[in-house]
Amino acid sequence: MNNKLVGADYIIFLIYFFIVAGYGYWVYRKKQSKENDTKGFFLAEGALTWWAIGASMIASNISAEQFIGMSGNGFRLGLAISAYEWLAAVSLIIVAVFFMPIYLKNRIFTMPQFLKQRYNEKVALIMAIFWLFLYVFVNLTSILFLGSLAISNLTNPQYFHVIMIVLAIFALFITLGGMKVIGYTDVIQVFFLIIGGLAATYLALTLVSEKFGLGRNVLTGFNELIKRSPDHFNMIFDKPGPNSTAKEISNYLSLPGIAMMLGGQWVANLNYWGCNQYITQRALGADLNTARRGILFAAFLKILMPVIVVLPGIAAYVLHQHGGLQQEMMSGGELREDNAYSAILGFLPAGLKGLSMAALTAAIVASLAGKANSISTIFTLDIYKKYVGKESSEKQLVWIGRVTVLVAMVIAILFTWDDWLGIGGKGGFEFIQKYTGFVSPGIFAVFLLGFFWKRTTSAAAVVGIVGGFVLSILFNSVIPEWFGHDTWLYTAYLNPGTGKYEIPFLTSMGWVFFITVLLMGIISMADPASKNNPKATRYDRSMFKVTPGMMAMILIILGVLGAIYVRFW
């Protein structure tokens, strides 16, 4: 195996760079006269087509956390980690049908704006601060760290910090063009992402086929994966018993079987896809039919993602178990699951390696740009404009947004330079999911009740946000010590890695969400004025109707997912 890039790889990568940069500049110049207002800069002025919306949502979602982190989880956990992707497709259907009409009918441009209209300024400000910290210190930093790690593994680990700066600069220039540039360049990014990702999957499966003397055959390689590692093709993990191994307990802590399907997995997905500025921003400037089509297109693409990001990780596991990839999977003398994807890419021939690196870079840059734009949007429109520069012109606000992007990127570089947050030690994908899960239950409860229950009060919303966060900390740290390891509510397991008893974090998310909703309901019912709440969200059932064409798309998505779960349950 040759792990280094050669001339053909660099040529293909440069072609990718100039295509994206040139197209982005053309889009920027074409619409430059309209980019000096906040709707044009932050929301693309409603100009994104359905395919651009869908592609942009996926390009921003599929990043280093999937390519590197989810492939690493494929190495450790197997196909079960695909639940995040496949249940996301169902979540996108729910968002398209039920959430988007409410946003668009009420002309919502940012998530804090909805909270202000539905509750009050205090709720909106608290949530905006929560989101800014989460986006900067969890999402932006982890994407930058994992992306730099993956590309440096393909080139030279000594260039880790140089690559980090280059990725940040590339994303910075795309972000400064506004959401329109991000949205349309994301279409190209998704093309490279899918083509390069499929090339890596093809290689991974043929490597497995060759390893066992079966020739170069993709289907044979896939069947050999199932044969050599059947435990990696279980979608649902059984609850550990007294005789369970450390590996089985560790797997269940990450993906707690049926328990996650009943609560935490849905909270994580619906909050991410439906209440997340970073994602919904792409559709908020469009009309309802365009937004729905774009979101359903994203759901179709979601079904494909495990093929691109999980199968290479499983292939790396099988090859490693049978004597391959021994050096490639190591870092600092230890086996590192997040090296699985780059270990597979090292086998690509000249040219294709450059294409796959372009796909990886596309995913990283698109996510960095989208996240930075959302940080900029929330800070500029929901904090600066309201509390600092109340008299600022549209042009001044756009410049404040650009400065915010720069500051956020610099902070991300500083915190990832020496991995101060310990992203590498926890496994990238799980790091993001776990720490996002500290705020997801409370946020989702506030949005869901704000949408569909008229009596929800502002006081209840504050309790939901703050209380949900506090409950998440308690469930993830001290509750097993206070109430024991096995109760009717939960079972805590001894984590082999930390030596501490832990409740599976997806189980915790489900219970925190349930308790938060209960608390918000009690507080709202205790307020007599809530019976005639003037800030209740107005909607009628006709808003949730879909066209026959959209219903056909929904049924196809659900049918494909149903077949997958029947086969691999």
Residue type for 180, please? K
- Please name which of 119, 446, 130, 106 lies closest in space to residue 275, comparing C-alpha atoms: 446
Q: What is the pLDDT along the chain (569 residues), one digit of tens a residue?
A: 555 677 788 888 788 777 777 766 676 666 554 445 555 554 444 557 888 888 878 876 776 667 777 888 899 999 999 999 999 999 999 999 999 999 888 888 778 788 889 999 889 888 888 888 888 988 888 888 888 887 887 777 788 889 899 888 888 877 766 555 565 666 776 777 788 788 889 989 999 999 999 888 999 999 999 999 999 999 999 899 888 888 889 899 989 988 888 888 999 999 989 988 667 777 777 889 999 999 999 999 999 999 999 999 999 999 999 888 888 887 766 777 878 888 888 787 777 777 777 777 877 877 788 788 888 888 888 888 888 888 788 788 888 888 998 999 999 999 888 888 777 665 566 777 778 888 899 999 999 999 999 999 999 999 999 999 999 999 988 999 899 888 988 899 988 777 889 999 899 999 999 999 999 999 999 999 888 888 888 777 888 999 999 999 999 999 999 999 998 88
Question: Max Cα separation, the chain?
Answer: 74
Burial of 271 (0-12, 13-18, 19+ CB in 10 A): buried
Distance, in Å, from the CA atom of 429 to the CA atom of 101, rounded to the nearest integer, reads 31
Q: What are phi and psi of 397, to 5 degrees?
A: -65, -40
Distance CA 375, CA 276 (A): 11
Decide the pairing of beta strands 493-494 and 334-335.
unpaired
Cβ neighbours around 535 below 10 Å, total:
15
Long-range contacts of 475-484 (CB under 8 A, 24+ apart): 475/503, 475/508, 475/511, 475/512, 476/434, 476/438, 476/502, 476/503, 476/505, 476/508, 479/503
Residue type at 317?
Y
pLDDT of residue 181: 59
Taking only Cα atoms into account, the Rg of the chain, rounded to an integer number of angstroms, comes to: 23
Phi/psi of residue 117, each to 5°?
A: -65, -40
305 and 59 in contact (C-beta within 8 Å)? Answer: no
The C-alpha torsion from 405 through 409 and 415 to 421, rounded to 10°, is: 70
> What's residue 524's pLDDT?
96
Buried b (16+ CB within 10 A) or exposed e, 354-363: bbbbbbbbbb
Give helix 83-94 / helix 264-274 axis angle, nearest 10°: 60
Block residue for tokens 């086969």 = 567
Helix (H) / strand (E) element for 335: namely strand 334-335
Integer angstrom CA distances of residue 399 from 284, 369, 501? 22, 16, 49
Predicted local distance difference test score (pLDDT) of residue 381: 82
Tokens of 301: 């693409």
Whether residue 74 contacts residue 81, with contact meaning beta carbons closer than 8 Å, is answered with yes
**17, amino acid identity:** F
H or E, element range at 133: helix 121-134
Q: How far apart are CA 182 and CA 174, in angstroms?
A: 6
CA distance between the termini of the chain: 36
List 501's β-bridge partners, or say none.
494
The pLDDT, as a whole number, for residue 537 is 84
User: How many whole angstroms separate alpha carbon 260 and alpha carbon 252?
Assistant: 10
Cα of 438 vs its chain's centroid, Å: 15
Contact call for residues 557 and 303 (beta carbons, < 8 A): yes
Q: Residue by residue, what is the 3-state secondary structure of 342-367?
A: HHHHCCCCCCHHHHHHHHHHHHHHHH
- Using CA atoms, how far residue 77 sits from 68, 71, 80, 205, 317, in Å, is 14, 10, 7, 18, 10
Look at the block and give the residue holding tokens 């909106």.
124
Q: Which two tokens stand for residue 348?
A: 């690509």
Domains of the chain as residue ranges with CATH = 7-27+48-100+136-236+289-375+388-420+542-568 (1.20.1730.10)
Sign, CA torsion 303/304/309/311? positive
H/E element, 406: helix 394-416
CA-CA distance, 466 to 443, in Å (whole number)?
A: 9
Q: Which of 190, 157, 141, 531 is nearest to 366 (CA)?
A: 190
pLDDT given at position 543:
87
The partner residues of 486 in beta bridges, in order of sequence, read: 491
pLDDT of residue 185: 64
Q: 280, 251, 269: which is closest to 441 by C-alpha?
A: 269
Burial bucket for residue 485 (CB in 10 Å: 0-12, 13-18, 19+): middle
3-class DSSP string for 434-468: HHHCCCHHHHHHHHHHHHHCCCCCHHHHHHHHHHH
DSSP H helical ranges for 263-351: 264-274, 277-280, 288-309, 311-321, 340-345
Q: 């939901």: which residue's tokens?
A: 464
> What are the backbone dihedrals phi and psi of residue 323, each rounded to the nearest 5 degrees, phi first?
95, 0
Q: Name 334's bridge partners.
A: 331
Q: Judging by beta carbons within 10 Å of its beta carbon (0-12, 13-18, 19+), is residue 498 exposed, middle or buried?
A: exposed
